[in-house]
Amino acid sequence: MLNRTPEKYSEIYVRDFDYSLPDERIAQMPLEERDSSKLLIYKGGKISESIFRNAVDFIPKNSFIALNDTKVIRGRLLFRKDTGAKIEIFCLEPADKQAVESSFLSEGSAEWLCLIGNASKWRDEILHLNFQIRNENCILNAEKIEAEKGEFTILFSWEPSELTFSEVLENTGDVPLPPYIKRKTNEKDAFRYQTVYAGADGSVAAPTAGLHFTDEILRNLREKCACLDSVTLNVGVGTFKPVKSEKASGHNMHSELFTVRKSFLKNILNSNYDLLTAVGTTTVRTLESLYWLGVIDGKLCGDIVTLNQWDVYEYAGSGRISFKDSVRYILNYMEKQDIEILTGATSLMIVPGYEFKATDILITNFHIPRSTLLLLVAAFIGDDWKKIYNYAIDNGFRFLSYGDSSLLYGNKNM
């Protein structure tokens, strides 16, 4: 399969996905109530608006609701050298990508890939951070192992060694707010920069479309719709990575780990739904990647199944296979291999011209100019993304992670 940009997608210029975003429109704080954010609805080429607590009214009852239940870790650690210099370590993912869950449960030590702030001030010495758990004095150590392309492998060790790494992060780390939120974190962020349905640890950024949901909204959706279920994609720091290349083809898309339970696949096949509503671009990437893993020969192999950036484009005959047919194929594979959870890594880059195979409706926030997330939205609704973003700017919508929301019907459902 192709792992290069197909020629017909190589002329997508990033400048065509730019817009003017005033600083004052970037939400710096969450609203007091999750569901009080504004909601833009786009359907049939027309725009309307409401409040997010009314979102259930705009989702058809024959819809399957798919969420990303990943949980944000407190992965920003601040060390101080004996000289007083501050060293910030931003945890990205375990050095062994296959050991995400076990790494959080590891006792005594854990090895992680990290970004380092003020890295030039950190030579070879081991850094130390003192903290307390249940009135017991504890210590966290950080040792540089190796560096490659701006990322560092860090060996963390701690005492008492019977603590898990998850416990250590929870008591030493800070909430990793995005770089465009220009303030210090507070205790409210620990709760609000997390969805109410967050499950397993793993993300360094929130799946922000889900931040608007409340338990009441979820309950109402379960009562109204065909099914509500979740996948897991661990959102990486690459979600903030700007597209600096002139063309989309020059951007190196980040890879993110995802897991899909066999029960989710069964719900896809057994639920009598007509439309699939994906909550967030991370959910879209997971579902669309899942489709191609069941379609492209040879992709379902190994402990971690992998989808590369341009694998799916120009794949012959893909249009003849439905999403449910692909899910059925994957489910059969998992049953034969006695697998309960499918683990994958996706670098899928969705750009205009991509044909969506799973997603019919998208709930998402408003994204950074010239970003891969905006390219995905443009692929989903076409050139009307400009009309939608102009409307949002002109009508006081708040942007980015703590901002307002939109509910978008895709081109094939217009």
Write the pLDDT tens digit of every residue in 144-194. 999 887 899 999 999 999 999 999 999 999 999 998 999 999 989 999 999
b vs e for 90-115, b when ≥16 Cβ sit within 10 Å of the residue's Cβ?
bbbbbbebeebeebbebeeebbbbbb
- Return the biggest CA–CA distance within the chain: 64
Task: Give me the pLDDT at residue 1, please.
Answer: 41
| pTM reported for the whole predicted model | 0.93
Task: Give me the pLDDT at residue 11, please.
Answer: 82
> What region, left, alpha or beta, does residue 263 occupy, with left being phi > 0 and alpha being psi -120 to 50 degrees?
alpha
Cα angle 305, 306, 308; round to 5: 165
At 321-349, the pLDDT tens digits run 999 999 999 999 999 999 999 999 999 99
Whether residue 303 has pLDDT greater than 90: no
Query: Across residues 270-296, what is the average pLDDT?
Result: 96
Residue spans of alpha helices (H) in 30-125? 100-105
**What interhelical angle do 372-381 and 384-394 show, nearest 10?**
110
Whether residue 7 has pLDDT greater than 70: no
Whether residue 2 has pLDDT greater than 50: no
Structural fold of domain 7-71+193-413: QueA-like (3.40.1780)
Q: Judge whether 124 and 76 are in contact, CB under 8 Å.
A: no
The residues that bridge with 260 in the sheet, in sequence order, are 342
Q: Where in the chain is the domain with CATH 3.40.1780.10?
A: 7-71+193-413
Task: Give me the pLDDT at residue 69, please.
Answer: 97
At 64-117, the pLDDT tens digits run 999 999 999 999 999 999 899 999 999 998 988 767 778 899 999 999 999 999
Q: What is the mean pLDDT of the chain?
A: 93
Q: Which residue has the tokens 């197909």?
A: 6
* The length of the chain, given as a count of residues: 414
Q: Cite the beta strand spans of 149-274 per DSSP E.
A: 151-159, 201-203, 227-233, 256-261
Cα(305)–Cα(98) distance, integer angstroms? 11
Say what the alpha-carbon torsion angle 357, 360, 366, 371 is, to the nearest 10 degrees.
Answer: 10
Both tokens assigned to 161: 């060694």
Residue spans of alpha helices (H) in 255-398? 262-270, 281-295, 323-336, 372-381, 384-394
